[in-house]
Structure 1
Amino acid sequence: MEALFTAVGLGFGAIFVGEMGDKSQLMALTFATRYRLRSVILGMFIAIAILIGLSVGVGAALGNFLPTDWIRLAAAVLFIGFGLWALRGEDDDDDEHAVKERRSGLLTVIGAMLLAELGDKTMILSMALGSQNNPWGVWIGATAGMLAADLLAVFAGAWVARHIPERFIRWGSAVVFIVIGVFLGIEATLALTG
Structure 2
Amino acid sequence: MYAFLLSTAVIFVAELGDKSQLMAMTFATRHRMRDVLLGITVATAIVHLASVGIGALIGDSFANSQHVISIIAGFAFLLFAAWTWRGDELSEEEASRAGARKGAAIVAIGIAFFLAELGDKTMLATITLATQEGWLGTWIGSTLGMVLADAMAIVVGAVLGRHLPDRAIKIGATLAFIVFGVLLIVDGAGWL
User: Normalising TM by the smaller chain, what interval?
Assistant: 0.5 to 0.7
Instruction: Tell me the residue number matched to 2:137.
Output: 137
> Does residue 12 of structure 1 match 2:8?
yes
Q: Distance in 1 between matches of 2:46 and 2:121?
A: 15
Residues 33 and 160, structure 1, Cα contact 8 Å, conserved in 2:
no
Count of residue pairs the alignment pairs up: 130
Aligned in 2, Cα 1:125/1:82: closer, same or farther, shift over 3 Å? closer
Residues 44 and 113, structure 1, Cα contact 8 Å, conserved in 2:
yes
Letter in 1 for 2:13: V
Residues 35 and 102, structure 1, Cα contact 8 Å, conserved in 2:
no
Identity %: 43
Instruction: Tell me the residue number matched to 1:167.
Output: none
Q: Distance in 2 between matches of 1:136 and 1:41?
A: 22
Q: How many Å apart are 1:102 and its aligned residue?
A: 8.7
Aligned in 2, Cα 1:148/1:87: closer, same or farther, shift over 3 Å? closer
Instruction: Tell me the residue number matched to 1:116.
Output: 116
Q: How many Å apart are 1:84 and its aligned residue?
A: 4.6
Q: TM-score, normalised by structure 1?
A: 0.60
Instruction: Tell me the residue number matched to 2:178.
Output: none
Q: Distance in 1 between matches of 2:99 and 2:142?
A: 34
> Does residue 148 of structure 1 match 2:145?
no
**Is the radius of gyration larger for structure 1 or structure 2?**
1
Q: How many Å apart are 1:36 and its aligned residue?
A: 1.5
Equivalent runs, 1:6-155 vs 2, <5 Å: 6-59=2-55, 61=58, 80-81=92-93, 83-84=95-96, 101=101, 104-155=104-155
Moved over 3 A (4+): 79-88
Aligned in 2, Cα 1:6/1:108: closer, same or farther, shift over 3 Å? same
Q: Distance in 1 between matches of 2:94 and 2:45?
A: 23
Q: How many Å apart are 1:149 and its aligned residue?
A: 0.5
Instruction: Tell me the residue number matched to 1:158.
Output: 158
Residues 9 and 145, structure 2, Cα contact 8 Å, conserved in 1:
yes
Q: How many Å apart are 1:82 and its aligned residue?
A: 5.0
Aligned in 2, Cα 1:22/1:128: closer, same or farther, shift over 3 Å? same
Residue 132 of structure 1 aligns to a residue whose secondary structure is coil
Aligned in 2, Cα 1:87/1:47: closer, same or farther, shift over 3 Å? closer
Q: TM-score, normalised by structure 2?
A: 0.61
User: Where is the helix percentage greater, Structure 1 or Structure 2?
Assistant: 1
Unaligned 5+ residue runs, structure 1?
A: 63-78, 89-100, 165-194
Residues 36 and 102, structure 1, Cα contact 8 Å, conserved in 2:
no
Q: Distance in 2 between matches of 1:16 and 1:154?
A: 14
Deviations 1:20-77 (A, max 9, x none): 1111110000000011111101001001111111100122739xxxxxxxxxxxxxxx
Residues 39 and 103, structure 1, Cα contact 8 Å, conserved in 2:
no
